[in-house]
Structure 1
Amino acid sequence: MEAQLRAVEWLNAASVESSVFQLRPDYRALLVLAEGLAPGGSDGASDQLLADAERKIAQELDGRRPEELDELAAWREAYRSFGAKPQRTRPSVEALVRRVDGGLPRIDRITDTYNAISVTHLLPLGGEDVDNYVGPAQLVRATGEEEFEVVAEERPAIEYPKVGEVVWKDDAGVTCRRWNWRQSTRTRIGESTVRALFILDGLLDVTAEPDLVAAGEELQAALARFSPEAQFSSRLLAP
């Protein structure tokens, strides 16, 4: 009970800056906090989830380009609203959809699971290692001074977002740039991750709140199949 209370308190401290809602009043973020996960390499179950997602999106595309799907077109517009060029830095779900023909990546069973849900529901979905967070998750428009930890030329490096860029951050720096484009190496999920935050990004123009919540529930059910001791808490962030 005490651990669950702490999880709820941490989720309750998460926030979306009003300036982000000014860009997209229809934006919603569903946060899912999972504790007690059982990390591991890709396995038969996670491979099946990805294979099912590949088949579903191939049928949905039916010869069309990814950007012709309403859900992906809406996210392209969201990127343009803060000056990003989505043809160069693509929303995460579009980047995944574009890899379907060659096969979605198999990384580890936590990452595979949330990537499969992202593609199946055509919405951006990221996962972060909560134990590497400093303070709560915050979606803001960057000042340009926030540090973003990456690997460049096989060495740790620091980059900085552009002023006004929409970024997820904590008290130590940026955790994901351009809304959902690229995650920081500091908080990315790894082979030792047992506590994770999953962020499901929705635009009401193309994804209704009940559908966003349903995707979150599907994610929790899929994670629980290989982590039967896991506990989940969730929160929907809206204006």
Structure 2
Amino acid sequence: MWFQHSPGIRREFPELAAGALVANGITSSADVKIDHLLAEARLRLRDHSPAELDEIQAWRRTFAAMGLKPTQYRSAAESLLRRFAKEGELPRIHPLIDLCNAASLAWAVPIAVIDVGRVAAWLEVRHADGTERYETFGGETEHPAVGEVIFADADGYAHARRWCHRQSGRSAVREGTTDVLIVAEALHESAAADVASLLTTLSDAVETAWSPPAQAALLTATEPRIEF
């Protein structure tokens, strides 16, 4: 299998910094430590609202460039930050999801967590052609609009809509998930360094909680793909 951003996405958004991590042997019984990440998020939000953060502003500009209203369609990181700022906590779902949500809060960067057992052959961030199928968490099927940025696989399933706005219920991590792909994406000025730091933190945490070494890579315009 492989994951990459399409050449078209790379040309349109040259400032994109992305990292991918592949992990096997995931279970729902692991104990992950996230309090330090939540503390970092609280510190980040002490003097700024989510919308004021450079990381979030960069995604808002990107959503506007895609023809989306940034206050109607938010990046997953902004949605998490808004909920965390309001409630002070996040619900526990699955140890891997909890870890990635906490890291997303700490870095203000959207992180996708995908069950690769539910992905056909490969996964590419690209513009939709209008034939793809997206399964909601409620079990409904939608068809992304032509040109919408999606995570698409070889069978024509969209595993995320509006880039990092919302993932699909089809490949969501669940009780029986064992093999995952984690993707972090950012477009702000220090995105490359921040994604590298985030990827290191996630790799260390995954290896501590689940033991098998994680395969990680920074993805660039010249090396856009991770194979696994």
Q: Taking structure 1 as the reference length, what is the TM-score of the superposition? A: 0.85
The AA in structure 2 aligned to 1:58 is R
Tell me, yes or no, if structure 1 residue 33 matches structure 2 residue 22.
yes
Conserved? CA contact 1:54–1:100, under 8 Å: no
Q: Which runs of 5+ in 2 are unaligned?
A: 222-228
1:181-221 CA distance string (max 9 Å, x none): 111111110011111000011225241x2331221111111
Q: How does 1:182-221 map to 2 (within 5 A)?
A: 182-203=166-187, 205-207=189-191, 209-221=192-204
Tell me, yes or no, if structure 1 residue 166 matches structure 2 residue 136.
no
Tell me, yes or no, if structure 1 residue 108 matches structure 2 residue 90.
no
Q: How does 1:108-187 map to 2 (within 5 A)?
A: 108-152=94-138, 156-172=139-155, 173-187=157-171
Which of the numbers 67, 76, 98 marks the counterpart of 2:82?
Answer: 98
1:39-77 CA distance string (max 9 Å, x none): 237x5x44xx1x433332222222432111111000111
- Residue 80 of structure 1 is matched in structure 2 by 64
Conserved? CA contact 1:176–1:183, under 8 Å: yes
- Residue 3 of structure 1 is matched in structure 2 by none
- Residue 205 of structure 2 is matched in structure 1 by 222
CA separation in 2, counterparts of 1:158 and 1:141? 18
Conserved? CA contact 2:20–2:218, under 8 Å: yes
Query: Which stretch of the first structure deviates more once superposed, 14-23 or 90-99?
Result: 14-23
The AA in structure 1 aligned to 2:28 is P
CA separation in 2, counterparts of 1:220 and 1:58? 23
CA separation in 1, counterparts of 2:145 and 2:182? 24
- Residue 7 of structure 1 is matched in structure 2 by none
1:4-23 CA distance string (max 9 Å, x none): xxxxxx33xx2212221232
Q: CA deviation at 1:234?
A: 2.1
Conserved? CA contact 2:54–2:188, under 8 Å: no
Conserved? CA contact 2:207–2:214, under 8 Å: no
Q: Which runs of 5+ in 1 are unaligned?
A: 1-9
Aligned-CA RMSD value = 1.7
> 1:224 is paired with a residue of what secondary structure?
helix
Q: CA deviation at 1:136?
A: 0.9
Aligned-residue identity in percent: 28
Q: Once superposed, which parts of structure 1, at least 4 consecutive aligned residues long, lie more than 4 Å away?
A: none
The AA in structure 2 aligned to 1:179 is W
- Residue 219 of structure 2 is matched in structure 1 by 237
The AA in structure 2 aligned to 1:185 is G
- Residue 4 of structure 1 is matched in structure 2 by none
